[in-house]
Amino acid sequence: MKRSVWMLLIWALPTAAILAASVPTAKKVANLADDEVKTGGQFRVIRLEGEDADSDLAPRQWDVTVYDMRRGNHATTVRFKDGVAVSQAGAVRVFDDARWSQFGRNFTGYDPAEILQFARWKLDSSEVIDRVAVLPGMEKVKITDVKMSLRKLSDGDVPAVWQVKVKARSKLKPGREGWIGVAELSAETGEIIQNTLHPERVSE
């Protein structure tokens, strides 16, 4: 019996380590997506979206949109799960407040001006979560899940912006848990662009 327990532990420990190592950060996934789309070594990522975070708050699923002239709308979205590419499809335009001025591209496709400036992408996904965790009021809650996206707010040589939607649980009242809002940060400097997180929704 003891031997069986030890064998189970010996098997479980490396398996857990392998699983943890297989969940890549956004930068790693972006480079993998370029390889999948075969961009010839050129960085062509337009947007990343991550969800289904693990216990370390690392998104296990990433959808990466890559500029791709071979597509009718000039972009391919590659989906990764635990660091493995599981699908490719023509990208669908994501519409948000930053994109109203680019409405015409819903018909003409993605533009090279939307490609992220890799040299100005300083903060990886794990570093962004660390910064969000220390925003005012967050000491009262434990982050339990995140949904993340990275994109530029305008064309050209501008830094990208991280948008992080946060789910949290009260430290004093663990039964209280829910989505508490969104924080937006510069991917270049870490500056808080917008903070609509309300940890008091679950902490009070």
- How far apart CA 186 and CA 182 sit, in angstroms, is 14
Residue 47 lies in a domain: yes
Q: What is the pLDDT of residue 178?
A: 97
pTM for the complete prediction? 0.84
On whether residue 1 sits in a domain, the answer given is: no
Rounded CA separation 52/147 (Å)? 7
Does residue 9 belong to any structural domain of this protein? no
Q: Decide if 10 is inside a domain.
A: no
- H or E segment to which residue 12 belongs: helix 2-21
Q: Average pLDDT for residues 51-74, to the nearest whole number? A: 94
Give the pair of three-digit tokens for residue 82: 């635990």
Q: What are phi and psi of 170, to 5 degrees?
A: -65, 135
**Domain boundaries, position 94:** 23-203
For residue 155, tell me if it sits in a domain.
Answer: yes
Query: Is 6 contained in some domain?
Result: no
pLDDT tens for each residue of 11-60: 444 444 444 456 899 999 999 999 999 877 789 999 999 999 999 999 99
Residue 10's pLDDT band, with cuts at 50, 70 and 90, is very low
Q: Is a pLDDT exceeding 50 seen at residue 170?
A: yes
**Does 12 fall in a domain?**
no
Residue 15 lies in a domain: no
Residue 4 has pLDDT above 70, yes or no: no
Bigger pLDDT: 11 vs 73: 73
Interval 108-138: pLDDT, tens = 688 999 999 999 999 999 999 999 999 999 9
Angstrom distance (rounded) from CA 65 to CA 45: 6
Name the one residue in this structure whose structure tokens are 């015409």: 104
Nearest to 68 by CA among 124, 111, 123: 111
User: Can you tell me whether residue 199 is helix, strand or coil?
Assistant: coil
* Pair of tokens at residue 90: 């023509």
The total number of structural domains in the chain stands at 1
